[in-house]
Amino acid sequence: MLTSIKITGLQTYGYHGLFEEERTLGQKFSFDITIALREVRTHLSDDLDSSVRYDAVVDEAVRIAASDKFQTLEALGETIALGLLRRFTIMDSITVAVAKSSPPIAHSIEQVGVQVSLRRADLVLGQDEIAGV
* DSSP one-letter code for 16: -
Inter-residue contact 99 to 72 (CB < 8 Å): no
- Active-site positions read 100
Contacts of 4 (CB under 8 A, 6+ apart): 34, 35, 36, 37
Q: How far is CA 110 from CA 8, 41, 43, 101, 124, in A?
A: 17, 42, 39, 6, 37
